[in-house]
A and B are shown apart, each in its own frame.
Chain A
Amino acid sequence: MMRAMWRLISTPCAERGLDRDPVRALTGLLPAAIALALGAAVAPPAASQTAGSQLPVPPASAAPKDDGQWTMAEKNYAATRFSELDQINGGNVKDLRAEFTFSTGVNRGQEAAPLIVNNTMYIVTAFPNFLFALDLTKPGAPLKWEYQPNPDAASQGVACCDVVNRGAAYWDGKIIYNTLDNYTVAVDAETGKEVWKTKLGDINRGETMTMAPLVVKGKVLVGNSGGEMGVRGWITALDAKDGRQLWRAYSTGPDKDVLIGPDFHPFYDSDKGQDLGVKTWPPEAWMTGGGTVWGWIAYDPDLNLIYYGTANPGPWNQEQRPGDNKWTAGVFARDPDTGAAKWFYQSFPHDEHDYDGVNEIILLDMQVDGQSRKVLVHPDRDGYMYVLDRTTGQVISAHNYGPVNSTKGVDLKTGRPILNPDKETKLGQTVRDICPTASGTKDWEPSAFSPRTGLLYVPHANLCMDWEDVQVNYISGTPFVGANVEMKAGPGGNRGVLTAWDPVQGKPAWQDKEDLPVWSGALVTAGDLVFYGTMDGWFKAVDAKTGELKWQFKTGSGIIGQPVAYRGPDGREYIAILSGVGGWAGAIVAGNLDPKDPTGALGFVGAMKDLKSKTTPGGTLYVFALPPA
């Protein structure tokens, strides 16, 4: 593992800025100089991270005390993925060993987080979306029951980027998750019996469902996938008791469909006006305009607001949809009871590079200019670490956390990105060396935040791309893309990075470079260890303060899952991860694609030609613990 560290404390800013020298020094790889964009805002000088009282913390109501279980993919409503368990630490992690494994029998990309509730572990697989319950009270954690939803096999043909599933949520005795063919199902956690099953979308419109639901106040929040299929995005709330649909809010179209009403108060002027979800599109283009909701949702119980991002506008060929294309590629705040929109911030009006806004949103209370602010932190596809006031939607800062040349920063007066005309995409012309790629500086793989270090641990990629717009027809149930893309390694040649980001200073504390894109989520524990996996199958623990590699274990296939920690019935701390390569980055292996065509998998094959020589498909759970005392 290549490792680079930027010392945070006591180094003069001009010398230490990641935004400047280290990355610029690595730009020799690409012929065109990477004009590294700087966040327009410079964070105010903050107290050293050692000053404990200054560290950002998640709101207590959204991150209650850890009970040793893991009941939702994000761990809590603040989406910290922080475990208070501390038995495993930097001193003893070398003794960590596999306690048991479990083969799912599904060799596709495994992106889900295992759940642990009442001494039972629940695993959702990629299509065909099996749900397994394992009894943690017995040696070897034998199978308790298995639920098979039997999704329509044809749904695989409209899933853009492997047939993944990002996990389930536990609520009131039920395990609730989505199937690829657009059902949300609730299964009795004790018996494995189906409680309800609600159909929400249609594969013949290109829709699928892959995201992990979030349950808030008895309402199951789910959204659709299909931004590459001309799908019209939505988020829907279902009654957790019976699966009845309570409300649906679309991401495009008239205000009444978007649930924009008198309570809607966006911060920036460009988001104010009537029916912008229609007017910022060519006639009728909003009907096939994307803005799907396939990522993460956070919830602030104090403000009673949910936060989630909307995906890219469709098609990718931007010349077919002039306008701001609202409400795609941005963040919504909504009332979970009614769905009513409270504010919206569009991080990328008229996106030209497939910069979905669906990445995770972490809720923190943080010192800004000497005042405590309620913020959300959003590591976006476009390369910027957005810090927004979560009450108003105002951008407080937006620093890039990887090389960016598609934009030159974010204008804090308007909230809009400052476009780089050299990297705008065009019909029939190949624009080369755009950074980041369509998959972004970071894709879906979620970060973890430790209140002990005040750092956000961000698994991400370092890729650039060539892009040519081509004309595309809308034919429902088929791709609506309109671009030829080829991805490649970014500056320095390492395709992946784990960045420990200081949200107060707006800079990395340290970075661990990886050869392959880091497509797994991160977990951080009170033992000050960060866990993540690599696409060639290594499961790693690194020191949360320094990034130093402390332990690693080679699993059977590449890892793109979400690690979790829990306290077992025997009182020991366990770490669990699904191994099984795939997803967009790993589609070349999961889908057995041909490396000779660099445009394969919407251009990702170009950057992953060697993956078949480094890993094979898989689908196995690994669970680790220290030997019993």
Chain B
Amino acid sequence: MNVQVEPGATSPYVKTQSLICGTLVTTDIKRSRRMYEEAFDMECVEPEKGLMFVREKGHRPGEANYGKPYWVLEVREVADIEVPQEMLNHWGFEAPNQAAVDEAYAQLTAKKAEYGITRVQKPFFRNGSYAIYATDKDSNWWEFEYRTPDLIYTALREKGDQFAD
């Protein structure tokens, strides 16, 4: 691809306030919900048949993260997966420490059939993170990773660009 763009627009054309949601699909929303709730410890709600929203826990009134922004996964039930996803199209969770990654590997491996998880990769180190990848029956990829405090995503924002073109 060779796109010619004049750099340096002073104000973006889209006045984005939040990158708020990612969407994905499943062929079985009931199975999928069990995975999110029981394996991944997320909160789910189904506002209509065939549609589910997923977020991390703790955002209800009175809970620790109430009022703070959260990311939403929008999951739709479909007859067929039109575009199977791959490793570079994954979603990621943060682990509290390296041992939690090892424990997740053991737990997911032992119970993967129960939750529609098809494969769990062994833990590995890369770019300062220690992580596992898992895939589900809908071809979605999931990463569970531990990063040292200086390498977590929000800490990296403070450092700014480390590489130029």
Q: A and B: partners?
A: no
